[in-house]
Structure 1
Amino acid sequence: MKSCHRSSGWLPSRLPVALLVGLFWLNSAPAQQPPALPPDESPLPLLRTAYTPREGAPMPVIQMAQGRDGLLWMSSSQGLFSFDGLRFERFVARDGPQLPADTPLSLAVDAEGALWLGFRFGGVYRVRDGRVTAFVEGLPMRSVVVLAPGPGGALWAGTTAGLYRLQGRRWQPVTAADGAPLPTRERGIVVDRQGALWLLSRARLFRAAPGGGPLVLYQTGRGDTGLLLDPQGRAWWADNDRLWLLDGSGRSMPQGRPPSWPVALERAQLVWMDRLGYAWAADRDGLLRLALDDLLRHLDDPRHPVPVQRLPLNAEEVNVGVSMLDDREGNVWLSTYHRFEKLQLRRLQALQREGRAMADVALAADGQGDLWLSSMTDGLLRWRGGELRQLRPHVNIEAGSLLAVPDGMVWLSSAGGWRQGPAGLQALPPLLPGTPLKPQALARHDGALWASLAGLGLYRLSGDRWLAGPGVSGLPEGPALSLWEDERDATLWLGYVQQGAWSLRAGRLQHWSVEQGLDVGHVLVFAPGARGFWVGGSEGVAWFDGQRFHRLGSASGQDLRGVSGLVETPEGELWLHGASGVIRVSAAEVGALRADPRHVPVLEVFNADDGLVGRANTLRPLRTAARTGDGRLWFATELGLFWLDPARLARNAQPPQAQIRALRSDGRTLDLRRPQLQTGARSLQVDYTAAGLTQPGRLKFWFRLVGQDGDWQAAGTRRQAFYTNLAPGSYRFEVFAENEDGVRGPPAQVELQIPAALWQTPLFRVLLALLAAGLLWGLYRLRLRNLARLLALRLEARLLERGRIARDLHDHLLQEVQALLLRLHVAVSGMGPADPQRERLETLLDEVERVVGHTRDQVSSLRQPLAAPLQLFESLRTLGEGLATQSRTTFEARLEGQPATLPPDIAEELHAVAREALRNAFQHAGGRKVQLVLRCAGAGCELTVQDDGVGFDPGEAPADKSDHWGLVGMRERAERIGATLRWQRLESGGTRVTVWWGEGSLG
Structure 2
Amino acid sequence: MWVSRLGPQGMELGPMEPSGAMPLADSWIHGQFTDVLETRDGGLWLGTLKHGLIWAHSRRETSKLGALSRVTTFKGADGLTSDTVRSIFQDQEGGVFIATDDGLDYFRLQAFVPLPLPKGTQEIAVSRDSDGTLLVGAGNLMHLDGDVVRPLANPVDHIQSIYRDPLGSVWLGGTSLLAQETPTGVHRVRLPQSLSSMHNIQAIATGKTGDVWVSFIGNGVQRYSNGGWQKMGPDQFHKPTAIVETRDESGAVWFGYTNNRVAAFDGTRFATFTEQEGVEVGNVTAIAAYHDHLWIGGDRGLEAFVGGRFKAIRFSGRSPANISGILETSDGRLWLNTVNGVVEVDGTELEASKSNGRGVAHRDFDFLDGFVGAPEDIRPLPTVAGTSDGRLFFSTVHRVYELDPRDIPKNPVIPKVLIRDVVSGARNCPTNGTVVLPSASDLQVEYTAFSYTVPQRVRFRYRLEGYEYQWHDAGQRRQAFYSKLPPGTYSFHVAASNDDGIWNNDGARVEIAIMAAWYQTAWFRLLCLLALCAVLWAAHRMRLRGISRVLRLRYEARLDERTKIARDLHDTLLQTIQGSKILVETALDQSKDSSRLLECLNKLAVWLDQATKEGRAVLVTLRAPDEEDSLVLALKRALDEFSANETRGVDFAVHGSARKMHHGICEQITHIGCEAVRNAYYHSAADRISIELAFGRNLTLRVADNGHGMAEDTLRGGRPGHFGLQGMRERSTAIGSELNIISVLDHGTEVVLTVPGEVVYEREQIVFRKLLSWILSFRD
Match of 1:457 among 220, 223, 226: 220
- Structure 1 residue 418, shift from structure 2 partner: 2.4
> Hey, what's the Cα distance between the residues in 1 that align with 2:131 and 2:155?
25
Do 1:677 and 1:755's aligned partners in 2 also have CA atoms closer than 8 Å?
yes
Match of 2:495 among 736, 748, 752: 736
CA distance 1:639–1:821, shift in 2 (3 Å): same
3-state SS of 1:240 partner = strand
> Hey, what's the Cα distance between the residues in 1 that align with 2:82 and 2:392?
40
> Hey, what's the Cα distance between the residues in 1 that align with 2:163 and 2:340?
25
Unaligned segments of structure 1, at least 5 residues: 1-191, 193-197, 199-204, 206-220, 226-237, 833-1003
> Hey, what's the Cα distance between the residues in 1 that align with 2:412 and 2:10?
37
> What amino acid sits opposite 1:470 in the alignment?
M
Match of 1:364 among 127, 130, 136: 127
> Which digits, 9 at most, give the CA deviation of each residue in 1:909-945, with x for residues without a partner?
xxxxxxxxxxxxxxxxxxxxxxxxxxxxxxxxxxxxx
Q: Which has the higher contact order (CA 8 A, sep 6+)?
A: 1
> Hey, what's the Cα distance between the residues in 2 that align with 1:437 and 1:814?
127
- Structure 1 residue 476, shift from structure 2 partner: 5.7
Do 2:112 and 2:369's aligned partners in 1 also have CA atoms closer than 8 Å?
yes
> Hey, what's the Cα distance between the residues in 1 that align with 2:198 and 2:270?
30
> What amino acid sits opposite 2:392 in the alignment?
L
3-state SS of 2:152 partner = strand
Question: What residue number does 1:280 align with?
Answer: 45
Unaligned segments of structure 2, at least 5 residues: 593-780
Task: Give the alignment of 1:197-596 within 5 angstroms.
Answer: 222-223=5-6, 240-245=11-16, 248-253=19-24, 255=25, 257=26, 265-267=29-31, 269=33, 271-282=36-47, 285-291=51-57, 293-294=59-60, 297-298=61-62, 300-301=63-64, 305-314=67-76, 320-353=84-117, 356=119, 359-366=122-129, 368-376=131-139, 379-383=140-144, 388-392=149-153, 397-432=158-193, 437-445=199-207, 446-465=209-228, 467-475=229-237, 477-486=239-248, 488-558=249-319, 560-596=320-356
> Hey, what's the Cα distance between the residues in 2 that align with 1:631 and 1:681?
61
> Hey, what's the Cα distance between the residues in 1 that align with 2:560 and 2:424?
72
Do 2:314 and 2:353's aligned partners in 1 also have CA atoms closer than 8 Å?
no
CA distance 1:311–1:822, shift in 2 (3 Å): same
> Which digits, 9 at most, give the CA deviation of each residue in 1:332-391, with x for residues without a partner?
1112122322111121011114x6585432211256533222222xx3233366564543
Task: Give the alignment of 1:712-861 within 5 angstroms.
Answer: 712-746=471-505, 747-806=507-566, 809=569
Identity in percent? 29
- Structure 1 residue 462, shift from structure 2 partner: 1.5
> Hey, what's the Cα distance between the residues in 2 that align with 1:820 and 1:315?
138
Task: Give the alignment of 1:883-894 within 5 angstroms.
Answer: none
Matched, 1:699 2:458: yes
> What amino acid sits opposite 1:288 in the alignment?
I
Q: Larger % of helix: which?
A: 2
Do 1:366 and 1:405's aligned partners in 2 also have CA atoms closer than 8 Å?
no
- Structure 1 residue 578, shift from structure 2 partner: 0.8
> Hey, what's the Cα distance between the residues in 2 that align with 1:753 and 1:580?
46
Task: Give the alignment of 1:931-946 within 5 angstroms.
Answer: none
Task: Give the alignment of 1:644-659 within 5 angstroms.
Answer: 644-659=403-418
3-state SS of 2:444 partner = strand
Do 1:319 and 1:338's aligned partners in 2 also have CA atoms closer than 8 Å?
no
Segment of structure 1 superposing worse, 545-554 or 304-313:
304-313
> Which digits, 9 at most, give the CA deviation of each residue in 1:16-73, with x for residues without a partner?
xxxxxxxxxxxxxxxxxxxxxxxxxxxxxxxxxxxxxxxxxxxxxxxxxxxxxxxxxx
- Structure 1 residue 400, shift from structure 2 partner: 3.7
> What amino acid sits opposite 1:351 in the alignment?
L
Normalising by structure 2, we get a TM-score of: 0.69
3-state SS of 2:477 partner = coil
> What amino acid sits opposite 2:16 in the alignment?
L
> Hey, what's the Cα distance between the residues in 1 that align with 2:168 and 2:557?
121
3-state SS of 1:392 partner = coil
Do 1:525 and 1:535's aligned partners in 2 also have CA atoms closer than 8 Å?
yes
> What amino acid sits opposite 2:485 in the alignment?
L
- Aligned residue-pair number: 590
Do 2:115 and 2:149's aligned partners in 1 also have CA atoms closer than 8 Å?
no
Do 2:130 and 2:183's aligned partners in 1 also have CA atoms closer than 8 Å?
no
CA distance 1:224–1:418, shift in 2 (3 Å): same
Question: What residue number does 2:626 align with?
Answer: none
> What amino acid sits opposite 1:375 in the alignment?
A
Segment of structure 1 superposing worse, 587-596 or 646-655:
587-596
Do 1:616 and 1:624's aligned partners in 2 also have CA atoms closer than 8 Å?
yes
3-state SS of 1:519 partner = coil
- Structure 1 residue 664, shift from structure 2 partner: 2.0
Q: What's the C-alpha RMSD, in Å, of the aligned pairs?
A: 3.6
> Hey, what's the Cα distance between the residues in 2 that align with 1:658 and 1:396?
58
> Hey, what's the Cα distance between the residues in 2 that align with 1:522 and 1:811?
106
CA distance 1:823–1:411, shift in 2 (3 Å): closer
> Which digits, 9 at most, give the CA deviation of each residue in 1:442-488, with x for residues without a partner?
000132111111122223221323x14235544162321111111x2
Do 1:429 and 1:464's aligned partners in 2 also have CA atoms closer than 8 Å?
no
Do 1:351 and 1:642's aligned partners in 2 also have CA atoms closer than 8 Å?
yes
> Which digits, 9 at most, give the CA deviation of each residue in 1:958-987, with x for residues without a partner?
xxxxxxxxxxxxxxxxxxxxxxxxxxxxxx
Segment of structure 1 superposing worse, 515-524 or 471-480:
471-480
Task: Give the alignment of 1:137-156 within 5 angstroms.
Answer: none
CA distance 1:357–1:553, shift in 2 (3 Å): farther
CA distance 1:500–1:580, shift in 2 (3 Å): same
> Hey, what's the Cα distance between the residues in 2 that align with 1:738 and 1:717?
10
CA distance 1:386–1:808, shift in 2 (3 Å): closer
Question: What residue number does 1:917 align with?
Answer: none
> What amino acid sits opposite 2:368 in the alignment?
D
- Structure 1 residue 828, shift from structure 2 partner: 7.3
